[in-house]
Amino acid sequence: MSEVYVIGHKSPDTDSVCAAIAYANLKRVTKENSAATAVRAGEINPETEFVLKNFGVEVPKKLDNAAGKKLILVDHNELGQMVDGADKADIMEVLDHHRIEFKLANPILFHTEPVGSTSTLVAEKYFEKGVKLDKKTAGIMLAAILSDTVVFKSPTSTDRDKKVADKLAQIVGVDPLKFGIEVKKAKASLAGKSARDIIQSDFKDYKFGGKKVGVGQVEIVDIEEARGRKKDILGEMEKMSNKEGYDMLFMMLTDIIQEGTELLVTGDKDGSVTKKAFNAQLKDNSVYIKGMMSRKKQVIPPLEKTVS
């Protein structure tokens, strides 16, 4: 049987990596696909590194180009977020929790639901199939759920996420809220990171009305530390726009303690897009928006509507 690669999006976050590992394992254990192998589409961030080390799980190998290979996509379905060569790959399945922006000539299994994390869906499959979870697999899925829902502070969080997290926490033997703060703090500091690394730590490409738009997000516990890097980050965003052809770039510096986001913007010269999409007035290419926590729910829908 030829190898099937289970893979998340570019600039992978914890959910993207951990959902791939757990889903590939489920495919093998249930013998649904004994050749399923988890891989990644980019370098892991410090949070994901902390989670995998904490549970003694190996970092999946990086797949640089997927042309000619069989793929199962997790945590994404947009071409701009897929591994290079995905347009020439055999995509067999999608498991996701984002908006649908997917086209394929052949019918495939496509499963997406409005929950806070793809790992919630993966864990539910373990429970439904009666597959016993070990602490390692339960632990990385718990961490992924806590990460993606910002320890249930994100508006994307659902009761299903909390219910699944409670079950996983019992298997692992941890307090989910305390463990969630540990997980988030692993990526919270910007010290020692270049502006490029900050932007790319969790970054996604979109096509809105024929325009190329990039939206990055980094979660922090000290908003002043982030504001001290604002000029540096905006300068790098300008460079990215010029070099890589972005019409607009948005960078979310999200304070998980105060529950708000310092939004940095390039390409919106008169501020009209930001004003219409978020009812917020840019000053020196940035604005603080209280309560903004989720890119998926609070940024992408109004931004797409405004730009398109």
Per-residue pLDDT reduced to its tens digit, 27-53: 999 999 999 999 999 999 999 999 999
Distance between first and last Cα of the chain: 44
The two structure tokens encoding residue 113: 């639901």
Note the pTM of the prediction, 2 decimals.
0.82
- Contact status, residue 81 vs residue 110, Cβ threshold 8 Å: no
Q: Which residues of the chain have pLDDT under 50?
A: none
**Domain coordinates of the chain in residue numbers?**
4-185, 195-307
| Candidate CATH numbers 3.40.50.720, 3.90.1170.50, 3.10.310.20, 3.40.50.300; the one for domain 195-307 | 3.10.310.20
Q: Which of 39, 25, 13, 33 is nearest to 109 (CA)?
A: 33
CA distance 248 to 286: 13
| Phi, then psi, of 278 in degrees rounded to 5 | -120, 5
150 φ/ψ angles, rounded to the nearest 5 degrees: 50, 55
Token representation of residue 213: 């738009």
Q: Which fold has domain 4-185?
A: inorganic pyrophosphatase (n-terminal core) (3.90.1640)
pLDDT score recorded for residue 186: 82
Residues whose CB is less than 8 angstroms from the CB of residue 148 and which lie 6 or more positions away in sequence, other chains included: 13, 14, 15, 116, 117, 118, 119, 154, 156
Confidence (pLDDT) at 221: 82
**Using an 8 Å Cβ cutoff, are 263 and 251 in contact?**
yes
Residue with tokens 């270049």: 194
Q: Which residues pair with 95 in a beta bridge?
A: 74, 111
**pLDDT for 1:** 60
